[in-house]
Amino acid sequence: MGGFDLVLVLGVIVAPLLSLAVGFVTKESWSPAVKALALAALSAADGFVVAWHDTVQDGGVFDWKTALIFAIGAFIAGDKAHRYVWEPSGAAGVAQRSLVKDRQDLAA
């Protein structure tokens, strides 16, 4: 991998945004463990895409270690961005309440 790799840079930029994506696709009532698993899955996908693109570009063999290391880094970046940027700014709450909503009990 020589020179500027746009997919690697995009993967690094996307990583902190993954926790907002989790907020968009999960319900507010779901447990934090489920949301952490969703973040782990998105981080794994991010790592896989970066490693796969690197393999296609270089014409080599897929390196699962690169995908794993990048996925772990993306998970940590997403978690820390959620705790220290998105929650204090209120963006996490807005994302959580926007797309997928809990059902309202109309009988109550």
DSSP state of 3: S
- Judge if pTM exceeds 0.75: yes
Residue 40: pLDDT band by 50, 70, 90 thresholds? very high
pLDDT tens profile 52-106 = 998 888 888 998 998 999 999 999 999 999 999 999 999 998 988 888 777 775 5
Q: What is the pLDDT of residue 106?
A: 59
Q: What is the pLDDT of residue 28?
A: 85
The residues near 19 (Cβ < 8 Å, ≥ 6 apart) are: 39, 78, 79, 81, 82, 86, 92
Cα separation, 3 vs 14, whole angstroms: 20
Q: What is the dihedral of CA 90, 94, 97, 99, to 10 degrees?
A: -150
Nearest by Cα to 7 from 50, 46, 44 = 50
pLDDT(3) > 70: no
